[in-house]
Amino acid sequence: MSSPFNEQIEQVMAQFTEQRAKLQQTQQDLQKVTVTAEPKDHLLTVTMGIDGEVKGIKFHRNDYGSMAPAELASILVETFNKARDKAAAKAQAAFSEMSGFGSELRDSLAGGSDLDEIFGLLNADPTAAAKTAGKKEGDRG
């Protein structure tokens, strides 16, 4: 017969395994995602991967040839930054549904106890875990 503590640990490990699989799948999905950005004058389009790698630059008009180098450089930098910001927002949105996992886990497992303390119990001998659990129950009463 397993103890309630062992059952909780098994549940935690299952939750961690599930969370890890979700994270890996999200990372794989994001590797395929690109974003695009254009400057106000729609001179060009920059395509960028979530990792910030520029995948392409497409000029929509030829008037960039008559621009001063500093002006064209400024437009490129502005557009790269827009694309990078879009990529960061997409990545953040993709991972946001997983935020709070540690807090939820801590609250459900130990009523708000510190996770370091919980995982310290995993490394301790079983009698230490039982003593700590007994001490906590005694503190509440």
Condensed to tens digits (0 to 9), the pLDDT of residues 61-117 reads: 999 899 999 999 999 999 999 999 999 999 888 888 777 666 666 665 555 555 566
Residue 105 token pair: 């886990």
Three-state secondary-structure class, residue 60 = coil
Tens-digit pLDDT profile for residues 1-41: 577 778 878 888 888 888 888 888 888 988 999 999 999 99
- Strands (DSSP E) along 1-141, which ranges? 34-37, 44-49, 54-59
- CATH tag, 34-99: 3.30.1310
Whether pTM exceeds 0.85: no
